[in-house]
A = this chain, B = another copy of it.
Amino acid sequence: MINIAVMGFGTVGAGVADVFEMNGALIAQRLGEPVYVKYILDVREFPDSPFAGRVVHDFDVILNDPAVEIVVETIGGAKVAYDYTKRALAAGKHVVTSNKELVATKGCELLQLAKEKNVNYLFEAAVGGGIPVLRPMQQCLAANEIEEVYGILNGTTNFILSRMVRAGVTFEAALKEAQSLGYAEQDPTADVEGQDACRKICILADLAFGKELPPEHVPTCGISGVTLRDVEIVEQAGWRVKLLGRALRTAGGKVCAYVAPHLVAAEHPFSAVEDVFNAIMVRGNAVGEVMFYGPGAGKLPTASAVAADVLDAAAHREKRKNIGWSAWRAEDAGTPEELELRGYFRVKDPLETVEARFPGSEILASGGEVAFITPKMPLRRLEDAAAALQLCAKMCVLG
């Protein structure tokens, strides 16, 4: 029997305990031995929970119990979670987490510590919720040079954009709806301003390229500036608006990433990704493009990914999985400004000004304001040329 501890009994932590109850027999059969949730660490009590008797409040109980081989960290944030994770790894325990903030900011260091202690630090649930993406990218595409990873990485913003498209409501109204359904927090900043997507694209880039890309080096723009007017203009022209995180290897072998709202063509598989679903596209030099799609959040889906990592850690107790990336170096980092992109702009200038400044553009609307998609050009040139216009809105174009 494998004893595990779950730290943080919020939505995901409770889901993890539930999955090991619900599918315990099946898991025991597949793993060859049962998994038992011995402790749940939380500051709160849960008198009505079937796990009430296993709740502890002192991390040392877990740390000092040699029977606990695997610790699940579903606390979130990068403070207490960081401290406990370091101590658990240092004590020779495997750690599994759904904590994207911690992995994006401290993953490199924690993986190094895990390597020294010959234990696993796994975090499939940190990106894409229940969607298998990190493990397939690492293992199933292991014979590929990864050239690019991009995705719809945040369910809240995708729900809001879906509602704007389908119900024709404003950003503000769609956000309220998301909050009332529990899809958005009362303070929705991290989702809406793209920070959550930024952390996830950083983790994807770290793994895909083997080099740390810290969130503070990733230009991030969320969807609070996306208006219903722009959504409608581009929709009429066959485009969908999606918040994407993108990470790619630039010409010189450097790596760069950014987060921004994008126009996605109706024929692209992402256009069918609605509501709180996520999708991640990975481009490898042998396989081409493969996509992973599914529920990007939620109690049981996220717990499904955490539980799979627990099983994987258990199966690799002797021979740990070789996961890690080298620490951040400024010279490895490219800048998105070098990327060649098409841009979408809506401006107050007359059509002639637009056509003079961006020759060859596709004009989507021209009554009063002009909305247009530029030809492909380096992002820097795009921004320079746009700066001289009376800008109402701007977005990137995928492809």
Q: List residues of chain A with CB under 8 Å of any chain B CB.
A: 15, 19-20, 22-23, 26-27, 30-32, 124, 130-132, 135-136, 139-145, 267-269, 271-274, 284-295, 298, 300-301, 303-305, 307-308, 310-312, 318-319, 322
Let me know if B286 and A142 touch, CB within 8 A.
Answer: no
Q: Which residues of B contact A136 (CB under 8 A)?
A: 132, 135-136, 140, 292
Q: B293 near A142 (CB under 8 angstroms)?
A: no
Residues in B neighbouring A130, C-beta threshold 8 A: 286-288, 290
Can you name 12 A-B pairs with beta carbons within 8 Å?
A20-B143, A23-B285, A32-B322, A124-B140, A130-B286, A130-B288, A132-B136, A132-B139, A140-B305, A142-B308, A287-B294, A291-B294
Q: With A269-B272, A269-B293, A291-B293 in contact, is A139–B312 under 8 Å at CB?
A: yes
Measured CB to CB, the closest approach of chain B to A128, in angstroms, equals: 9
Q: From residue A55, how far is it (CB to closest CB) to chain B in Å?
A: 22
Asked, given contacts A145-B23, A273-B269, whether A287 binds B300 with beta carbons under 8 Å apart, the answer is yes
Contact across chains for A23 and B294 when beta carbons are under 8 A apart: no
Query: Are the C-beta atoms of B269 and A311 separated by less than 8 Å?
Result: no
When the two chains form their complex, are residues B271 and A272 in contact, meaning their CB atoms are under 8 A apart?
yes
Chain B residue nearest to A124 (CB atoms) is B140
Q: Which 10 A-B pairs have the closest CB atoms?
A: A132-B140, A143-B307, A290-B294, A291-B293, A287-B304, A286-B304, A132-B136, A130-B287, A286-B300, A272-B272
CB of A22 within 8 A of CB of B285, answer: yes
| Cα–Cα, bound, A132→B139 (Å) | 9
Q: A239 → chain B, closest Cβ, in Å?
A: 14
Q: Which residues of B contact A23 (CB under 8 A)?
A: 143-145, 285-286
Q: A19 contacts B304, CB within 8 Å?
A: no
Q: How far is the CB of A99 from chain B (nearest CB, A)?
A: 18
Q: How far is the CA of A20 from the CA of B144 in the complex (A)?
A: 10
For A35, give the chain B residue with the smallest CB separation.
Answer: B143
Q: How far is the CB of A278 from chain B (nearest CB, A)?
A: 10
Q: State whether A284 touches B304 (Cβ < 8 A).
A: yes
Chain B residues whose C-beta falls within 8 Å of the C-beta of A312 in the assembled complex: 139, 142
Q: How far, in whole Å, are A314 and B207 apart by their CA atoms in the complex? A: 21
